[in-house]
Structure formats: C-alpha cells, structure tokens
Amino acid sequence: MVRIMRMVFIGPPGAGKGTQAERLVKTYKMAHLSTGDMLRAARDAKTEVGVKADTFMSAGQLVPDDIIIEIIAERLGSPDCRDGYLLDGFPRTIAQAEALDRMLAEKGTPLDAVLELQVPEEELFRRLAGRGRADDTPEVIRQRLVAYRKQTEPLLDYYRQKKSLKSIDGLGTVDEIFARAKAALN
C-alpha cells in the first residue's frame, strides 16, 4: 500500500527534476503535473494560451501568474489527481504558491511535502548547454537561471517557514539522487 502523496518539486532549470519526477510518480503512484510540458503542448497545439505563453517561454521568462494558475486550478480538478500528484514546475512565484494554498485549503487537501533539488549554478549551466532544447540558447538559459533566482528561490523560505521543505543534493547518479529523494519523503 502506497499512501496518497501530494507534493511540490522545486529545483532550478537543469537540476534533473524531470528525470527524478518520472521515477517518483511511478513509485508513489502520483499524477505528474509538469507545467513546462503543459505549456509546450499548448504551444505546439497553437491554442490561444499556448501562443501567448510562447512569447515568454522563448525569452526565458516566466509566463504570467494568472495564466498558469488557471491551468493548474483546472488540472487539479481532474480525477487522476484524487490519488495524489507531483507538481513539477509549479509554483514558481510567491503569488502562485499563495494561490495554490488557497485552492488546497478549499479542497481540504494539504500538501504532504515540498522537495528541493539542489545543484550549483556552474553545473546547471554545463548541463543546460548540452541539452539542445529550443529554449536552451546561452542567453535564454541565463534568463531562466535569473528568473529562478529572483522569482522562485524565495519560495524556499516560504515553505521552510511552513516546515514543509525538504532539500536534497542533486549531484550524483540518478539512483543516488532518487534514494535521497525517497529517504527525504519517507
């Protein structure tokens, strides 16, 4: 029996969050809610939201809070989220975190954990430069790291104060990091 788990996964671009997220959702039977994937799907489908989001994504900037909050609010209502989920890439700003808190308070379903994957900046730049996604040009990478530092890092204190933050070292093999993640969550 695996207990129901609702968690937030935070880490800078290039930290290896996607790889670990996939293993975590299998192990804990959670729905995987990646806002990056949702936005890329919307962009590729050329929906109104997708076209708007693309102007921010391709510049390495965060898309506006109201857009992403609405996407998540809708997604959290779907049946597959009833048995737990991992939020990957959301929240990324204090306003998003506060909106999430309000949604979860309304549903009476608090978060079980907030997991942070820590990787030093030089290593992130090295990894991102080798990845080759369309938004992985050096200038866009730099912008995404700046956005992380300025807008997302403040969330760490926000969740630390709520006593829900667990941080793990993101350097090592995929297996090593996954073992740390499980240990932190159990």
- Residues within the interface to ligand ADP (CB under 6 A): 13, 35-36, 39, 56-57, 60-63, 68, 89-90, 92, 96, 144
Pick the closer one to ligand ADP by CB: 2 or 55: 55
Least distance from ligand ADP to the Cβ atom of residue 155, Å: 11
Q: Active-site residue among 17, 40, 43, 180?
A: 17
Nearer to ligand ADP, 64 or 172 (CB): 64
Residue with Cβ nearer ligand ADP (36 or 50) = 36
> Given the complex with ligand ADP, which of 68 and 168 has the nearer CB atom?
68
17 is catalytic: yes
Strands 165-169 and 84-88: unpaired
Look at the block and give the residue holding tokens 């109104």. Answer: 48
Chain centroid offset of residue 62 CA: 12
Would residue 92 show up in a list of annotated catalytic residues for this protein?
yes
Is 40 marked active-site? Answer: no
DSSP string, 41-108: HHHHTT-HHHHHHHHHHTTTPPPPHHHHHHHHHHHHTSGGGTTEEEEES---SHHHHHHHHHHHHHHT
The number of beta carbons lying within 10 Å of the beta carbon of residue 123 is: 15
Rounded CA separation 74/18 (Å): 22
Smallest separation, CB 52 to ligand ADP (Å):
11
* Smallest separation, CB 39 to ligand ADP (Å): 5
Residues classed as catalytic: 17, 92, 131, 133, 144
